[in-house]
Amino acid sequence: MAKLLFFSITALGFFCNITFAFGPIPLQDLCVADPTSSTRLNGLPCKDPATVKAEDFFFSGLHIPGNTKNPYGAALTSMTVAQVPGLNTLGLSLARLDLAPDGFVPPHSHPRATEILTVLEGSLEVGFITSYPDNKHLSKVLNQGDAFVIPVGLVHYQRNVAGKRNTVVLAAVNSQNAGITVVPKGIFGAKPAINSDYLARAFLLNKNIVEQLQARF
């Protein structure tokens, strides 16, 4: 029994260390970002605490619908460290996603964050694909009040399935800067361009189709 308890405590300590390594706890009460500093860090340097004010932690605008008049029928209102300097080092960001009827978000991934989507209005189809070799597609239709978790780094998508109604989603990620890689734009819109012969072979497409896609992005 004593040995079992010892190994249980050891394992718990090990997993706790992994957790803290993945999402370090801040070493001070606050570190409001100073975007004017020339110091380069993994994140942003802190401004003088004496100059910190309540506005550094405030954001207004999540109640305002975004402009969805674009080819995707989608709009994102972000609340990251760029808009709220007080989020610096706290490992959190929010965003409002507006989707017009038939609006969608192309397949993409967030290399530095897990995401939680909560539907405020309408209906949303959301799905992600697990990594190779399974490439399993897990998807769900969410209605008002439903939430869905997208694991860090996995390719995922969203689309409005509410018919003629708009859909509004609140997205939360556990990073002040989750990053985003949009699959179509990243592959066919890379600068400088990826070799079209290679892409044609990789996607089993005609080279002319690849070049047309590259011209679009």
Amino acid of residue 179: G
Rounded to an integer, what distance in angstroms lies between the CA atom of residue 100 and that of residue 122? 10
Other C-beta atoms closer than 10 Å to the C-beta of 152 total 16
Known binding residue 115? Answer is yes
Triad 42, 20, 10: Cα angle to 5°: 150
Other C-beta atoms closer than 10 Å to the C-beta of 178 total 20
Radius of gyration of the chain (CA): 21
Known binding residue 137? Answer is no
DSSP H stretches of helix in the chain? 2-22, 183-188, 196-202, 207-216
Amino acid of residue 101: P
Residue 65's nearest CA partner among 169, 171, 173 is 169
Enumerate the known binding-site residues for oxalate. Answer: 110, 115
Enumerate the known binding-site residues for Mn(2+). Answer: 108, 110, 115, 156
Enumerate the known binding-site residues. Answer: 108, 110, 115, 156
